[in-house]
Structure 1
Amino acid sequence: MRPLLRWFKTALALVLGVLSAVGGVLFLLSAALCPPVRRRAPALAAVERRRIAGCYDAEVGPVSPSPHRALGFLTARLGPGLLGGLVLFAGVIGAGYGSLVLWGWFLLTIHDPLNVFWSACAGLFLLFLAVQGMYGVALLEVRIARRFYGPDDRAELVRRIGELAESRAGVVEAVHDERRRIERHLHDGVQQRLVALGLVLGRARRSGDPAKADALLGQAHEEAQRALDELREVAWRVYPATLDEGGLGAALETVAERAGIAGVPVRLSVGLTAEPPEAVRAMAYFVAAEAVTNAVKHSGASAVTLDVTQRDTPSGTLVTVRTRDDGRGGADPAGGGLTGLRRRVAALDGRFSVDSPVGGPTLITAELPCA
């Protein structure tokens, strides 16, 4: 039913396009004779845009053209509009001859049945060409609409430069945030452990009681072990060696194991057909690790789902990282950690989204192009 409905909508769009093309010819003649009429061009072009977008289920740019560009659009689509009329006429002729073997025996006097058969074959072939021509005209109309309703080359270049400048500034800020966070971990964690270790060792050296000195040395050993664990934690947050040694899947298994030890099980699914490039692999890992860490520490979730998929698109391979937890929700997309991730994802021309209504669930998605 869906192909039939699509064909019907395409045929309806071509019929309306033929009528609007005839009206467009009259409008352009009026605009040539009476220049003030040109001010109505954007309104008429908007009607054509709605017809193309609605009947063809196509995405047309939101840019409102100037009267000059609207006139250009109306002029450019006259050809496809009139061509659509010819295609529809050919389709009607082909359908008539193609169905001749069904109704010709009752309404016509047939002297040569073989001619009827060949006429039906030719009609069916003409109908096939007309159907293909319908989709060709539809594609041409969509391209013309996108050309005039999208940004011009200069505007697109300015927009792209703005995006690059914004993402570069965001990456610099994210790097500063990451440095500050590492400094806090080292200052509040490892450094305090080392200071405590030095104090305990000093007390052990000054102690004249062998038993007390032995106890202090045991305490110093424990402090050294804690300092080493916290140093490993900082190194793991900066960049895990597993990511290079075992790949993205192995590194994410480590994330899931650490969350499980903290009391929040993670259901991990990695569907990679090939290992992503290094930059994409690292970004996918950090997005997943940050999302899972936030879920463990702040959401009150009882379970987390982490899915990593890879698919081919017309513009290249796309890696998608999606985490979902059943916590209380209400995560602030403008928070420091999520903002840093958004900036770093934007630096790779990726897309980052956070959906966290109050009451949950929280869904974090990052789409990372590999090109």
Structure 2
Amino acid sequence: MTRLVLPGCRLVLGLALGAVTAVVALPVLVLAVPALVLGRTPPVAALAGVERRRLATLLGAGDLGEDDPRRAAAYLAVRCPVGLLGGVVLFLGGYGAVKSVGVLAAWISGGRPDGIAPTWPIVLYLTVTAAVLLFLDLAGLVAVAALERGVARRFLGPDERQLMRRRIAELSASRAGIVAAVDAERRRIERDLHDGLQQRLVALGMLIGRARRNGSPDLLGQAHDESQRALEELRDIAWRVYPAALDELGLRDALATVAERSPVPVQIRHDLPERPVPSIETAVYFTVREAVTNAAKHAAATRIDVSIAEHGSMVVVRITDDGAGGADPGGGGLAGLARRVAALDGRLTVSSPPGGPTVIEAELPCG
């Protein structure tokens, strides 16, 4: 019930304010005409700002682009009749409600408003009529709100030039982010090789040299064990860089390996009808792997649930853990994931209130 009442109250309030701003816009537009004729900036910025907030907060108009005084003046001129229409519809609905309550109150007190007695046929007729009129009024309110949003998108929404500028900015940011992510990954691989594998191989060489000089079976055994550990570490580094199973076996089996390697139980639900294109499949894999690694390392989680499904034209990846929460979306790992997803025209959202749970959701285009 609350889901219906609250949006309805916002819609009514939005249309009522729209009727007021429509009346206020008339003198503002009269003052704006000379400015437009003289090629100056029309004085509509304050009222246009109020309209943007009203549309975004109460009517859900969404993105309304950048401030442009001329487009704002055109919007105010076009929406004046729409705002007044919304006020008329609200007035008729309110008048009908007050009239109905007055008639009902008169009947309860024993009166006969307009000489009409409350017989059952009359009551039934008036009830049906009131219900039909209420439905028409509500439909009118919804239609006016939709018309308000349409006019706002047409005159206040971003034009092609603004959309192009935004797209260029997004591509520039994603390109810079990818370069930064690649450099960070290279540095991490270099540290793994220098601090881990390289030291282990140096120790292995020293053990083999001592074994050759002394002919000691124990040293040869140590060298063999060290070589096994070096090989395992090399495999682990290669797996972190790019898993061969992703190309050979597909996303399902590659993620099964992630679940097996995780110290925390991981439940994976894979509902994709077919394999995504390689770039999307790779992004999905690394998103899941990074999220699982973070949850196991930092969140003190005891369970991780992964869901991969296709919704319309998007692949939706959702990772939920029952850890302590407080994950920072601007941190190195999550920020890198966000850049990787954004580079593919996707979106990454993170919800991690203190105390948990943490929910990471990535939306990626199917193609």
TM-score, structure 1 normalization: 0.74
Residue 43 (structure 1) shift: 1.2
Separation in structure 2 between the aligned mates of residue 31 and residue 332 of structure 1, nearest angstrom: 45
More deviation, 110-119/342-351: 110-119
Describe the SS at the equivalent of 1:83. Answer: helix
Describe the SS at the equivalent of 1:274. Answer: coil
How many equivalent pairs are there?
356
Q: Is the 8 A contact 1:268 1:305 kept in 2?
A: yes
Structure 1 residues 314, 78: closer, same or farther in 2, change over 3 A? farther
Separation in structure 1 between the aligned mates of residue 350 and residue 124 of structure 2, nearest angstrom: 63
The letter of the residue matching 1:135 is V
Describe the SS at the equivalent of 1:77. Answer: helix
Pair 1:349-2:345 in alignment? yes
The letter of the residue matching 1:29 is V
What pairs up with 1:320-339 in 2 under 5 angstroms? Answer: 320-322=318-320, 325-326=323-324, 333=330, 335=332, 337-339=333-335
Describe the SS at the equivalent of 1:40. Answer: coil
More deviation, 33-42/183-192: 33-42
Residue 296 (structure 1) shift: 5.7
More deviation, 19-28/85-94: 85-94
Partner of 2:158: 151
Partner of 1:238: 241
Partner of 2:51: 48
Describe the SS at the equivalent of 2:304. Answer: strand
Residue 177 (structure 1) shift: 3.0
Partner of 2:286: 286
Partner of 2:222: 219
Separation in structure 1 between the aligned mates of residue 266 and residue 203 of structure 2, nearest angstrom: 39
Describe the SS at the equivalent of 2:226. Answer: helix
Pair 1:106-2:130 in alignment? no
TM-score, structure 2 normalization: 0.74
Partner of 1:367: 362
Partner of 1:263: none
Q: Is the 8 A contact 2:309 2:316 kept in 1?
A: yes
Structure 1 residues 77, 169: closer, same or farther in 2, change over 3 A? same
More deviation, 178-187/70-79: 178-187
Structure 1 residues 122, 132: closer, same or farther in 2, change over 3 A? same
Residue 167 (structure 1) shift: 1.1
Pair 1:127-2:134 in alignment? yes
Residue 18 (structure 1) shift: 2.7
Separation in structure 2 between the aligned mates of residue 12 and residue 322 of structure 1, nearest angstrom: 38
What pairs up with 1:244-323 in 2 under 5 angstroms? Answer: 251-252=254-255, 254-260=257-263, 266-274=264-272, 277=276, 278-293=278-293, 299=298, 302-303=300-301, 305-310=303-308, 316-322=314-320
The letter of the residue matching 1:68 is R
Q: Per-residue CA shift, 1:211-251, capped at 9, x if unaligned?
A: x2x33332332122112211221122122345456765654
Structure 1 residues 139, 193: closer, same or farther in 2, change over 3 A? same
Residue 20 (structure 1) shift: 2.9
Residue 149 of structure 2: which of 115, 121, 142 is its match? Answer: 142
The letter of the residue matching 1:290 is E
Residue 74 (structure 1) shift: 0.8
Partner of 1:21: 22
Q: Per-residue CA shift, 1:113-151, capped at 9, x if unaligned?
A: 979866764553343122112011112213333444443
Structure 1 residues 305, 19: closer, same or farther in 2, change over 3 A? same
Unpaired runs of at least 5, structure 2: none
Describe the SS at the equivalent of 2:43. Answer: helix
The letter of the residue matching 1:369 is L
Q: Per-residue CA shift, 1:244-285, capped at 9, x if unaligned?
A: 56765654554454342xxxxx25343443267343443343
Separation in structure 1 between the aligned mates of residue 12 and residue 350 of structure 2, nearest angstrom: 41
Describe the SS at the equivalent of 2:112. Answer: helix
Residue 83 of structure 1: which of 82, 85, 88 is its match? Answer: 85
Separation in structure 1 between the aligned mates of residue 352 and residue 127 of structure 2, nearest angstrom: 61
